[in-house]
Amino acid sequence: MNFARLIRLFTRPKEYWHEVSAEPGDIKSLLIPQMLILAAIPAASIFLGTLMGFMRWSFVRGLIAAVVAAILTYVFQLGIWLLFGIIINAFSGAFGGQKDLDQAMKLATGATVSVYAGSAFAVIPLFGASYLGMLAGYGYAVYLLIQGFPIILGISEGKSIGYAFTVVGIMLAIAFTLGWFSSCSLACVALGGARF
């Protein structure tokens, strides 16, 4: 994994997209090790935030809830990344671009890294902090995609804006649904069951 390149994603996104556009980008090469490592950022943030948030009731319950939350988050984040690439590829033709799953996965990777960075706010055990961080990450993902669509998929700059808002809007709805599901599961683990 190239950390200097990840920094360029946030400082000079057009340069980043030009650099990755010609490289191989199949799901396996992006997943191992890059996305497997980066998906640990939201999982670790959720683990720490949940542990701090639930420890006021019981350390054991807080620890169990934090572990469950981290595992669910890790799995969901990898699934969201894969789904993001599939959705980008599926909508490409409608916006005048070429359908290419490998190129779409590169775009999904860059946009998802932004969301992972925003997820660091989950460490703050205040209601809504994780959602604000996630929204900031998705907001920057829109910007990254607007910059990347013309370079990676050959979509005109005018269509890139609508395309970015479409795919990010779909992914945001999916992420909130999965977040609601994991929050309900977490509450059942942390607050239900036998007393420790």
Whole-number pLDDT of residue 1: 59
- 13 domain residue, yes or no: yes
- 47 domain residue, yes or no: yes
- 192 has a pLDDT exceeding 70: no
- 196 domain residue, yes or no: no
Count: domains in the chain: 1
Q: Which domain holds residue 101?
A: 3-191
Averaged pLDDT score across all residues of the chain: 83
- 152 domain residue, yes or no: yes
At 58, the pLDDT band (50, 70, 90 cuts) reads: confident
**Phi, psi (5° rounding) for residue 182?**
-70, -35
- 15 has a pLDDT exceeding 60: yes
- 8 domain residue, yes or no: yes
- 41 has a pLDDT exceeding 80: yes
- 168 domain residue, yes or no: yes
Tell which wins on pLDDT, 173 or 196: 173
- 94 domain residue, yes or no: yes
Whole-number pLDDT of residue 122: 65
- 196 has a pLDDT exceeding 70: no
